[in-house]
Structure 1
Amino acid sequence: MYDLTAVRRRYFKVKLSNGRVIDLEPPKLKTLNRLVHVAKGGQEPEELDETFELFSRLLSKNKQHYRICAAQVEEWFDWDEMIGILTEFFGWLNQEKRDPN
């Protein structure tokens, strides 16, 4: 039997501009799928709103239970910061996926 409770949790550390450090958990598959779908699309206003919502979900799924809503994402982050976090996070996910331990 495969025991899901025995799966080792992995976290990606992010230091926010307010100095708070959060440990992000890997996203649920539904959120990951939507992020990939939005990333393949253009940058229409509706898609940007969905991007902000998905980014807030990604940031809010953390060990500290610190919540960040889409409105805070729009206010706190600039484009380069959001893309930087997403790029590093997905790089980390790829690396973790390859690590058998």
Structure 2
Amino acid sequence: MITEKMFTALALAFPGTEQHPHFERIGFKVAGKRMFATYLNKDNTANIFLTPAEQVLFCKMDKKYIYPVPNKWGAKGATTFVLDKVKKEWVTEALLSAYNEIMYPKKTGI
């Protein structure tokens, strides 16, 4: 089980990451850039902002506890992780992917 304290430590471990309130959630973003993850205490879940292709891969790992956010953000790659049920390694890898997408975006059309 990943606790709020553990998830916060994982997210803040990336250089330049800041923690901010985001509606009823805690948001994690790279300073001066966009958010890459949010945490919701009431159900101990995280939404991690993956690419749609990465989302497909992570959801295959555990379809019951890793799934697209059920709205337009989910269609863009926002993925819910039920932190009571998923492996810490998977969450760490997803956070790294989301962070890297912000820091080192892939250029298209080249």
TM-score by length of 2: 0.31
Looking at secondary structure, tell me which structure has more strand per residue.
2
Q: Which of structures 1 and 2 has the bigger CA Rg?
A: 1
TM-score by length of 1: 0.34
Looking at secondary structure, tell me which structure has more helix per residue.
1
